């Protein structure tokens, strides 16, 4: 009995000793694991390798930093607008019947080009009146010369000379008026009388409206065609009173169209309004458009930034930045190398989810770099590098999330870690 108690006591002591050993062993492993995880987390530099097929499918866009004024700007909204001299409504001065239409909506026309033809009896009457006036003017001119000769010889009375002169001057004015009317209507005064007249474009531009059809009556004052010349497009921006003192002619403007992609369009302020717009307590600021005019039409809504300072910073498109573990990163192209086929890579373990084929191709190696971001405006982000990169480094401007996804697929959160 006493022997059994001793054996039991020894067994309990051995069990306690074993538990203490296991517990101490666990405590010693934890710091090592924590340190290893810490090193992996603190190291933001990781490499991702893409084969040629993956690179081509990813639509990656490479580039470098852009210099942007993202710190000293004024936000403004507005619309694209055409000045009145670059818009035209085509009307007729004489009523008539439409005989032909030679253009369609959306077509570009040059100034003086025939848009349609119109027929009217008024044209023949006008030409007839001009020819009669011309003939009568010739006779009155000869009669006036004859009366001047007789008057110089004291043959006729001075009253007769004055009457002849008055008739001549009156017909001369009438003839000039008729000739001017024919020129306005693009009609010839000489030759056979015609009843059809061409309707011509007053400016060069695009046909936006056609308000007639063959056989319809063209009436006075009613627009038959509308033409716009978009080459002189500008932007009207509404700037509030508190910011007005900072805005000056010559300053750069950057804006994007709200209903299109984030393509940045440049402009320059050329004029500032002198009165408030309606009840908004804002002033219209007019800016010329320096590029992309062919993509714009009047009335487009824009978001704009007016650069009122000179503090330019390095910036990248928002798509170039990825987030991981509460930090922000960009990718740079580290190298491009010729890869061997799968069969030639003996002994290489492919457990990192990289796709390899039996054919040779290019390998694209990207390095992940931690950065600090700043101001975000019009799709661009201010970037501060936390480590040096080569001056000629090619940065990933588009497709960074695709590269990041391959990094996450790899075991341990990355490819070949530096």
CATH number of the domain enclosing 288: 2.40.30.170
Between residues 391 and 187, the one the model is more confident about: 391
State the pLDDT confidence band at 223, using cuts at 50, 70 and 90. Answer: very high
Are 288 and 384 found together in one domain? no
| Domain final residue, candidates 185, 207, 227 | 227
Are 217 and 237 found together in one domain? no
pLDDT, tens digit, for every residue of 388-402?
Answer: 888 888 999 998 888
| Domain final residue, candidates 169, 198, 227 | 227
DSSP state of 242: G
Whether 33 is covered by a domain: the verdict is no
Q: What is the pLDDT of residue 360?
A: 60
Rounded mean pLDDT, 166-178: 86
User: Does the pLDDT value for residue 324 go beyond 80?
Assistant: yes
Whether 132 is covered by a domain: the verdict is yes
User: Does the pLDDT value for residue 261 go beyond 80?
Assistant: no
User: Does the pLDDT value for residue 236 go beyond 70?
Assistant: yes
| Domain final residue, candidates 227, 262, 278 | 227
Q: What is the pLDDT of residue 150?
A: 78
Name beta bridge partners: 337.
363
Are 54 and 148 found together in one domain? no
d(CA 168, CA 116): 39
Between residues 309 and 118, the one the model is more confident about: 118
Are 100 and 204 found together in one domain? yes
Are 278 and 330 found together in one domain? no
Are 341 and 365 found together in one domain? yes
Tokens representing 239?
A: 């700037």
State the pLDDT confidence band at 335, using cuts at 50, 70 and 90. Answer: confident
Contacts with 48 (C-beta within 8 Å, 6 or more apart), sequence order? 331, 365, 366, 368, 403, 406, 407, 410, 414, 415
DSSP state of 320: G
- Report the CATH number that the domain containing residue 360 is assigned in CATH: 2.40.420.20
Highest-confidence segment of 21-30, 34-43, 73-82, 252-261: 73-82
- Report the CATH number that the domain containing residue 95 is assigned in CATH: 2.40.50.100
Are 269 and 350 found together in one domain? no
Domain residues for the domain of 170 are 88-227
Q: What is the pLDDT of residue 8?
A: 58
* Biggest CA pair distance of the chain: 181
Q: Helix, strand or coil for residue 343?
A: helix
Neighbours of 330 (CB within 10 A): 24
Whether 9 is covered by a domain: the verdict is no
Are 77 and 143 found together in one domain? no
Overall number of domains in the chain = 3
Are 111 and 218 found together in one domain? yes
User: Does the pLDDT value for residue 32 go beyond 60?
Assistant: no
State the pLDDT confidence band at 16, using cuts at 50, 70 and 90. Answer: low
pLDDT, tens digit, for every residue of 289-300?
Answer: 887 655 778 888
Are 297 and 259 found together in one domain? yes
Q: What is the pLDDT of residue 204?
A: 93
Are 323 and 369 found together in one domain? yes
Whether 17 is covered by a domain: the verdict is no
Highest-confidence segment of 80-94, 157-171, 245-259, 345-359: 80-94
State the pLDDT confidence band at 227, using cuts at 50, 70 and 90. Answer: very high
> Do residues 364 and 333 make contact, with C-beta atoms less than 8 angstroms apart?
yes
Whether 21 is covered by a domain: the verdict is no
Are 78 and 162 found together in one domain? no
């Amino acid at each position: 009995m006493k022997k059994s108690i001793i054996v039991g006591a020894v067994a309990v002591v051995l069990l306690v000793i074993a538990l203490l050993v296991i517990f101490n062993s666990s405590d010693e492993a934890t710091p090592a694991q924590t340190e290893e995880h810490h090193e992996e987390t603190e190291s933001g530099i990781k490499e991702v390798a893409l084969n040629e097929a993956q690179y081509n499918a990813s639509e990656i866009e490479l580039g470098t930093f852009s210099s942007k004024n993202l710190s000293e700007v004024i936000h403004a909204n507005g619309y694209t607008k055409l000045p009145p001299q670059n818009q035209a409504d085509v009307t007729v001065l004489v009523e008539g019947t439409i005989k032909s239409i030679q253009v369609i909506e959306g077509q570009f026309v040059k100034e003086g080009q025939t848009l349609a033809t119109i027929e009217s009896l008024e044209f023949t009457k006008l030409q007839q009146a001009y020819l009669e006036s011309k003939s009568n003017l010739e006779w009155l001119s000869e009669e006036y010369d004859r009366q001047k000769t007789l008057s110089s010889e004291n043959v006729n009375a001075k009253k007769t000379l004055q009457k002849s002169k008055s008739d001549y001057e009156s017909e001369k004015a009438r003839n000039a008026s008729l000739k001017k009317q024919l020129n306005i209507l693009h009609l010839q005064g000489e030759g056979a009388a015609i009843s059809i007249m061409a309707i011509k474009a007053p400016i060069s531009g695009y046909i936006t409206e056609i308000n007639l059809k063959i056989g319809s009556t063209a009436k006075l004052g009613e627009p038959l065609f509308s033409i716009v010349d978009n080459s002189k497009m500008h932007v009207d921006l509404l700037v509030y009173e508190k910011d007005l003192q900072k805005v000056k002619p010559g300053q750069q403007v950057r804006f994007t169209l709200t209903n299109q992609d984030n393509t940045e369009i440049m402009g320059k302020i050329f004029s500032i309004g002198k009165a408030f717009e309606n009840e908004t307590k804002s002033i219209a600021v007019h800016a010329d458009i320096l590029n992309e005019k062919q993509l714009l039409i009047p009335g487009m809504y824009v978001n704009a930034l007016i650069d009122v300072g000179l503090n330019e910073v390095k910036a990248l498109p928002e798509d170039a930045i990825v987030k991981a573990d509460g930090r922000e990163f960009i990718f740079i192209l580290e190298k491009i190398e010729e890869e061997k086929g799968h069969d030639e890579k003996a002994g290489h373990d492919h457990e990192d989810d990289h796709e390899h084929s039996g054919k040779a191709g290019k390998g694209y190696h990207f390095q992940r770099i931690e950065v600090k971001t700043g101001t975000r405006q019009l799709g661009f982000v201010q970037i501060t590098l936390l480590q040096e990169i080569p001056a000629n480094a090619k940065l990933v401007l588009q497709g960074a999330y695709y590269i990041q996804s391959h990094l996450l697929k790899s075991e341990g959160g990355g490819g070949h870690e530096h």
